[in-house]
Structure 1
Amino acid sequence: MAFLSWAAKDALYGIDTSGGVHRSGDGGSTWKKAATVPGGRPQALTAVDAEHILAATQTGVYESKDGGNAFTMRLAVESSGAH
């Protein structure tokens, strides 16, 4: 996992380097992949509560209100062109 966020006892979230969002209900012993966040490599992950997640990627900030199953873009990030 590239980033972890734990907002509730039974909701530990992780995001891997390809943007795959995973959820663990047992403190990280087992994981279930929910979905993949669009936008390339993840930059940050915040679990607001057990079902509400924010993920930042190379192209923007995405929000899920269903435990990471679907994401909606909330803020687009423009590339500066520098790599």
Structure 2
Amino acid sequence: MAYANDLTLTQSHDPGQTSAVPVQLNRNLRRIIAWGNIWQVRFVPHKTQLLHVTRSSVPLSLDFNGRTMALQDEVEVLGGHL
């Protein structure tokens, strides 16, 4: 049996809300991990990708299951590159 297990999390915001974005995204990532723990779904942090598309110079630091996510120039989603 095979499962499609790709998940894409996006966040858009107004320019004045830039500082709230990491807080909101990290909160949502913790919720995803908690959901996975309840339903016995294990996420693989080293396969997790972060693409940050922004005009802001504020760096984005996200934590996924105890691991800081590294920024990527492109990400692969269901076999396609973005």
TM superposition score normalised by structure 1? 0.28
Name the structure with the higher strand share.
Answer: 1
Structure with higher Rg: it is: 2
Going by fraction, where is helix more abundant, 1 or 2?
Answer: 2
Q: Which has the higher contact order (CA 8 A, sep 6+)?
A: 2
